[in-house]
Chains A and B, each alone.
Chain A
Amino acid sequence: MSAQSIDWKSEVKEIVERHGGKPEYLLDILHEVQAKVNYLPQEALLEVARELDIPLSKVHGVATFYSMYSIQPRGQFIIRVCESAPCHVMGCDAVIAALESAAGARMGETTSDGLFTLEYTSCIGVCGVAPAIMINDRVYGNLTPESVVEIIAEYRARERGE
């Protein structure tokens, strides 16, 4: 679903009402808004500010502070890569290089077909199987340059309906 095709006015109103219209639930509200299109469109942020009756600057401040949110459009699958010390020691650099070349985008970028966005993330807490990545909600561990290429290929194949 694209950000333009959504009626943000009613979507945001419904989400905010479910949280009792309380500004303290701003993080939860942003999580739910983002779940619709994988990022936080400006139009949606405006609606959140209006519904909660707080300044847009505050909503914007929160949306840009936390690494799980993005105000830039992102791909259908967000690949979060950990480069913290445990993943680093277990060889994440080679995995990242293989991932970039398999996906066809550099870290921080979205692939031209809009399928993948590559991001760095802080530790995802599965250091026992480092190096690890997360693709949307799913965690992948014990990665090697070869296995990460396979994972990307699987996602691509699934998208093509194979």
Chain B
Amino acid sequence: MQFFRSHVLVCGGVNCSLQGSRTIRDLLVDAIAEAGLSQEIKVVETGCFGLCEQGPMMVVYPESVHYCRVQPSDIPEIVDAHLKKGRVVSRLLYRGTDPSQEVQTLTETDFYGKQQRVVLRNCGLIDPESIDEYIARGGYEVLGRVLTSLTPQQVIKEVQDSGLRGRGGAGFPTGLKWSFTAQAEAQQKYLICNADEGEPGTFKDRLILEGDPHSVIEGMIIAGYAIGATQGYIYSRGEYGLSIQRLRKGIEHARKVGLLGRNIFDSGFDFDIEVRIGAGAYVCGEETALINSMEGKRGEPRFKPPYPTTAGLWGKPTCVNNVETLANIVPIMERGAQWYRSIGTEKCPGTKVFTLTGNIVNEGLIEVPMGITLREIIYDIGGGIPDGREFKAAQTGGTSGGFLSAAFLDVPMDIESVAEAGSALGSGALLIIDDTHCIVDVVRSCARFFRHESCGQCTPCREGTQRLLEFVDAVAEGRATGADVRLFRRLAQTMEDSSLCALGQTAPFPILTAMRFFPEDFEAHIVHKKCLASDAKTGATA
């Protein structure tokens, strides 16, 4: 193995790539070669660092110097000043809310201060396409210990004791789901990793898969061992080209070194993984719709019960877990249930990966302990609202989640507390909206989404999503009356009560929460036939 005096890690996450990080990496490799430093300095493309707003980014190790918004024209200076002479290029350093203050390392940025990286521990630190780098960081050690020294029951107990709850949105206890699948009697059982991340505003699973695919693969093998499955599947969105490519490469590498396939670690346990791809349907994130899609059918949800843990893929017991859930397994098995419980809240242990989008300074990916407040996320980590505007609303949990107003800034971000506040934590999407926006307008976009994504199988959802959109259109255009509002409430109740799956049940939810917490926006449209946002934009007072 060759040793290098310095490593330059260039973020190859999708957001930095869009801003030209591939070109930057290629130019850097060339410039290093030209300077005759190829034997001393290694360039590595990693997964997402998280601070997507500041891309393209790179970190130079061992000194951990973090450069932001790097342009092709900056490369000669980085190579000459930093890599050759050891002088930091200060104009490329991160500057937080105080522009006079330079921040040298990524972990010193205010963006990192309150984060705790468990799931994302390797993201941005290793080359995601190298199994060697994953192993060098301790990867697959836990798997070896689990397979050779623990029984499946012991693994399930540890996960149950950790209190881990599913990170896909519903928050069902993972250990309990595993135990149901383990108890089901069948010759063949399946494990499915749900990577069909369709919730608008959510891209955490994508960045986990692109930044550290092996931690998900290792988590899957442990899960398969615990529940008694020999075959695992990763069902990914068809749109996630890079995730699919990295996963396939990771699986192939793991197979080559004997970490997948027959008799893993001479334990007698066989397990393999196949990647399956979707074709664009939000409803396929619902586990039974996903199973139908994997069987080559329309992705329509099935009636429950029977639950997939009893009768899932091909009618066999099937455990469906979210990407982030599975990425939590290795740290839990490595450091134990008690350690895991020491993070987060009593009912929601552990960390949560959130994606920050909308009107916020630091858009991107973060991982924080469950129970951190919305205010801390927005102002301490997210850098606040740009352009001197005021915070107006946060939509939590993606488009199927609810809207919270400024009165809820101190709500702890865990499943129970957010639900008590009247919204949902969901998959961890956080859309921040400033005071130039009218909630009615944002809700209209949500209603359009549900009308498009209803699978059409059950009437309450198929017809209901159409009527929801008509109602919001009428409000937005100043045509809605009090009678329309009453009718809408009845419709919402009917959809919640009688839709077949969560899509139809939650479609009215964002509208209901918006009406509850932002009555003035609706009143302006319905009663006064005007929009508050146009006043906010021009600075006029109502």
**Interface size bucket, A side?**
35 or more
Docked CA distance A61–B299 (Å): 10
Interface-located stretch among A4-12, A20-28, A97-105, A110-118: A20-28
| A130 interface contact, C-beta 8 A | yes
Closest B residue to A63 by CB, please name it. Answer: B279
Docked CA distance A30–B364 (Å): 34
Docked CA distance A150–B199 (Å): 30
CB atoms of A31 and B279 under 8 A apart: yes
Residues 298-347 of B contacting A (Cβ, < 8 Å)? 298-300
CB atoms of A26 and B357 under 8 A apart: no
Q: A122-B280, A128-B363 are in contact. List 18 more A-B contacts (CB 8 A).
A: A25-B296, A26-B296, A28-B276, A30-B279, A62-B296, A62-B298, A66-B279, A86-B358, A88-B442, A90-B357, A122-B200, A122-B452, A123-B201, A125-B206, A129-B15, A129-B19, A130-B358, A139-B18
CB atoms of B203 and A66 under 8 A apart: no
Closest B residue to A61 by CB, please name it. Answer: B298
Docked CA distance A86–B14 (Å): 17
**Interface size bucket, B side?**
35 or more
| A94 interface contact, C-beta 8 A | no
Docked CA distance A139–B20 (Å): 12
Quick one: which of B240, B278, B437, B446 contacts A66, CB cutoff 8 A? Answer: B278
| A85 interface contact, C-beta 8 A | yes
CB atoms of B198 and A123 under 8 A apart: yes
Docked CA distance A79–B356 (Å): 25
| A159 interface contact, C-beta 8 A | no
Report chain B residues within 8 Å CB of A69: 279-280
CB atoms of A125 and B240 under 8 A apart: yes
Report chain A residues within 8 Å CB of B133: none
Report chain B residues within 8 Å CB of A31: 238, 277, 279
| A153 interface contact, C-beta 8 A | no
CB atoms of B200 and A127 under 8 A apart: yes
5 A-B pairs (CB sep. < 8 Å) = A69-B279, A89-B431, A126-B18, A127-B202, A140-B18
Docked CA distance A121–B240 (Å): 13
| B445 interface contact, C-beta 8 A | yes
Identify which of B53, B239, B298 gathers the most chain A CB atoms within 10 Å of its CB: B239
Residues 36-61 of B contacting A (Cβ, < 8 Å)? 52-53
| B295 interface contact, C-beta 8 A | yes
Docked CA distance A102–B199 (Å): 30
Docked CA distance A67–B355 (Å): 25
CB atoms of B357 and A128 under 8 A apart: yes
Report chain A residues within 8 Å CB of B202: 123, 125, 127
Docked CA distance A58–B357 (Å): 39
Report chain B residues within 8 Å CB of A27: 238, 276-279, 293, 296
Report chain B residues within 8 Å CB of A23: 296
| A124 interface contact, C-beta 8 A | yes
CB atoms of B449 and A139 under 8 A apart: no
Closest A residue to B298 by CB, please name it. Answer: A65
| A84 interface contact, C-beta 8 A | yes
Task: Name the distance in Å between A157's Cβ and chain B's nearest Cβ.
Answer: 20
Report chain B residues within 8 Å CB of A125: 14, 197, 202-203, 206, 237, 239-240
CB atoms of B281 and A24 under 8 A apart: no
Task: Name the distance in Å between A37's Cβ and chain B's nearest Cβ.
Answer: 16
| B385 interface contact, C-beta 8 A | no
Task: Name the distance in Å between B234's Cβ and chain A's nearest Cβ.
Answer: 14
CB atoms of A128 and B445 under 8 A apart: no
Report chain A residues within 8 Å CB of B52: 128-129
Contact (A85, B446) CB under 8 Å given A69-B279, A122-B282, A122-B452: yes
| B91 interface contact, C-beta 8 A | no
CB atoms of B53 and A128 under 8 A apart: yes
Identify which of A26, A62, A128 gathers the most chain B CB atoms within 10 Å of its CB: A128
Closest A residue to B206 by CB, please name it. Answer: A125
| A77 interface contact, C-beta 8 A | no
Report chain B residues within 8 Å CB of A90: 357-359
Identify which of B14, B300, B356, B395 gathers the most chain A CB atoms within 10 Å of its CB: B14
CB atoms of A89 and B433 under 8 A apart: yes
Task: Name the distance in Å between A4's Cβ and chain B's nearest Cβ.
Answer: 25
CB atoms of A68 and B53 under 8 A apart: no
Quick one: which of B19, B201, B281, B299 contacts A84, CB cutoff 8 A? Answer: B201
Residues 73-88 of A contacting B (Cβ, < 8 Å)? 82-88
Report chain A residues within 8 Å CB of B282: 122
Report chain A residues within 8 Å CB of B365: 128
Contact (A137, B241) CB under 8 Å given A62-B296, A85-B445, A127-B200: yes
| B372 interface contact, C-beta 8 A | no
| A3 interface contact, C-beta 8 A | no
Docked CA distance A129–B19 (Å): 9
CB atoms of A62 and B278 under 8 A apart: no
| A155 interface contact, C-beta 8 A | no
Report chain A residues within 8 Å CB of B198: 122-123
Quick one: which of A122, A130, A134 contacts B453, CB cutoff 8 A? Answer: A122
CB atoms of B399 and A85 under 8 A apart: yes
Closest B residue to A137 by CB, please name it. Answer: B241
